[in-house]
Amino acid sequence: MSLNPGSVPILACDLGMFESAGVHLKVKECLGSPGATSALLLGEAVFAQLPTLDGLRLVAERKWPGKIFWANKAEKTSSPAGFVMMSAPSIRKMGDLRGRRFGVGAEGDYWAPIVANLLRLNGLKREEVVWVKDLDPLQKAEMLLDGKIDVMLTSVQNYIAKFEGDRRVRVLARGEELAKYREGMPQGPSFVGVASERMLEEEEEVQSVATVLMKAARLFSEDADSWVEAAFRRRPDVPKGRIRKLWDFFRGDWPVGAGLDLARLGEMLRGLRTEGRRPPIGSLVTTRFERGAMERLGLSHLAGRPGASLPLGRKGSFELHLVELGVGPALLHQFLLGALLGDPSVVEQQDPVGHPYRR
């Protein structure tokens, strides 16, 4: 699990918040957003949290029968400040990558276009680098620290969690130095939730999911300890002090309100190299579930302000219990969390008498 706001669905599940709302889920992880997308296309899942560009490609280019129904802000994860390139101490410049072992994730994941631009802009050929493939972010970090790979691209959360202060590795590039390699990748919300047409017919079920996501995000945004403790149970390999540092970094970056901005998503859609006529953004996105979540949380007066900074109330005002939402028997389906930066998870829905899978 990535230690950023993309963790909201996983940790809400771990805390029993979906179960309290009558939605029974369990969580498992897979490699990269390509794996999450594949499961959707195969009909093995009906929900997903994906990187925004992958979500747009899914519904606009691949014509998957479904819509975007939720936005997870988390913009710091896809900003220049959110990227770090780590290497062995012997690598001092990009030209030193020739003949070295570069750890990467699944083919076609979030990092793929960044890696392609990095090679092109530094006059490197793909065959000049040794590729160590299909690694998840934690595997890459551990292999770099153990000297089994020589270089990797990673996120700021992995840098803080695994590398900061460790002399076995060095920062090869970060921040604005890496921004030029994101050419052609428009900035916007880092994650979006997608739901299949079949699932969207179960409106009360989807509304309950959206409401829990927003309520959990508001809890984690206001109460650092609630997120730190839940995240530490998922990631005991990372000291709590570092997890708290990550909460400080992502302060103000949580999806606490309606984040689906059609104009901004339309701009991102126009930036894709889509073949043929692009469908209108309004046919790919539904905002009614975010609006419904705000109404149920008493925030409907702010529902017309996408990404607004919402009042969170006094500390502790959002406890872990949920108001019973009156959801009927749960259907068998999955909630995929194709999280950003090649660290996706799958949240599978169990039968009505099951319980969320807890790690």
Q: What percent of the chain has pLDDT over 90?
A: 48
Which residues pair with residue 154 across a beta bridge? Answer: 84
Among the listed residues 191, 258, 259, 251, the one whose alpha carbon sits nearest the alpha carbon of residue 223: 251
Which residues pair with residue 71 across a beta bridge? Answer: 192
- For 267-325, write each residue's pLDDT tens digit: 888 877 666 677 899 999 999 999 999 999 998 766 555 444 434 333 332 222 222 22
Topology (CATH) of 80-182: D-Maltodextrin-Binding Protein; domain 2 (3.40.190)
- Token readout for 172 is 């090869």
Q: Is the pLDDT reported for residue 28 higher than 80?
A: no
| 5-77+190-349 CATH | 3.40.190.10
Domains 5-77+190-349 and 80-182 in one fold = yes
- For 100-150, write each residue's pLDDT tens digit: 999 998 887 778 888 999 999 999 999 999 999 999 888 999 999 999 999
Sign of CA dihedral 359, 140, 4, 200: negative
Q: How far apart are CA 33 and CA 107, in angstroms?
A: 10
Q: How far does CA 304 lie from the centroid of its chain?
A: 24
* Residue 312 confidence (pLDDT): 38
- Token readout for 56 is 């747009």
Q: How far apart are CA 205 and CA 168, in angstroms?
A: 49
Q: How far apart are CA 3 and CA 246, in angstroms?
A: 7
Q: Where in the chain does DSSP place strands (E)? A: 25-29, 47-51, 66-72, 83-87, 101-103, 130-132, 151-155, 170-174, 191-196, 334-337, 345-349
Which residues pair with residue 86 across a beta bridge? Answer: 152, 171
Query: What residue segments make up the domains of the chain, in order of their start?
Result: 5-77+190-349, 80-182
Could you tell me the pLDDT band of residue 45, with boundaries at 50, 70 and 90? confident
Contact 332, 281 (CB under 8 A): no
Q: How far apart are CA 244 and CA 229, in angstroms?
A: 9
SS3 state of residue 195: strand
